[in-house]
Amino acid sequence: MTILNESTAGTAESGDARVTVRPNAGGGLTLELRGPSVIRYGDEIRAAALSILGALGVADAAITIEEKGALDATIRARLAAACGRAAAGSTAPAGPAAAAAQVPWEAMA
């Protein structure tokens, strides 16, 4: 999956996370974490994020995760949604339907 544009998913509400994904062509993965759980659970959040990026085949992206006490499952879901939106091609029809195309659900299990 190639990240083509900047996209976000999620909210700033308690128990949620807002994830922003930006193109980073040839630059590999950069991951910035912000939020109350980062000091204690930063390694877990990082591992969860990397497992989703691996499942989606995202090799180059600059990612910011702002969490508000979100559980791993929520961070994984928000990151997957943000990547799907960011990878929706500029030639393909825009919107959630296009973002949904070809989601590798089995890989994210």
Partner 1 sequence: MKLRRSMLFVPGNAPSMLRDAHIYGPDSVMFDLEDAVSPREKDAARHLVFRALRDYDYAGVERIVRINGLDTPHGLEDIAAVVAGGVDAVRLPKTDGPNDIIAVERAVEAAEKRFGRPAGSVKLIAAIESARGILSVREIATASARLVAIAIGAEDFVTDLHTTRSPDGVELLAARSMIVLAARAAGIMAIDTVFTGVDDPEGFLREVRLAKQLGFDGKSVIHPSQIALAHSVYAPTPEEIAKARRVIAAAADAEAKGSGVISVDGKMIDKPIVERAERVLALAGEVEA
Q: Is 56 in the site for partner 1 (CB under 8 A)?
A: no
What CA–CA distance (Å, rounded) separates 24 from 32? 14
25 vs 94, which CB is nearer to partner 1? 94
CA torsion, ordered 93, 94, 97, 103, to nearest 10 deg: 90
Cβ-Cβ contacts under 8 Å for 109 (sequence gap 6 or more): none
Quick note: the x/- pattern for partner 1 over 64-93, rule CB under 8 A, is: ------xxxxx-xxx-xx--xx--------
Q: Is 96 in the site for partner 1 (CB under 8 A)?
A: yes
What CA–CA distance (Å, rounded) separates 65 from 107? 21
| Beta bridge partners of residue 67, listed in sequence order | 17
Residue from 29, 50, 59, 103 in contact with partner 1 (CB under 8 A): 103
In the complex, minimum distance from the CB of residue 96 to partner 1, in angstroms, rounded to a whole number: 4
Binding interface with partner 1 (CB under 8 A) = 9-10, 13-16, 70-74, 76-78, 80-81, 84-85, 95-97, 99-101, 103, 105-106, 108-109
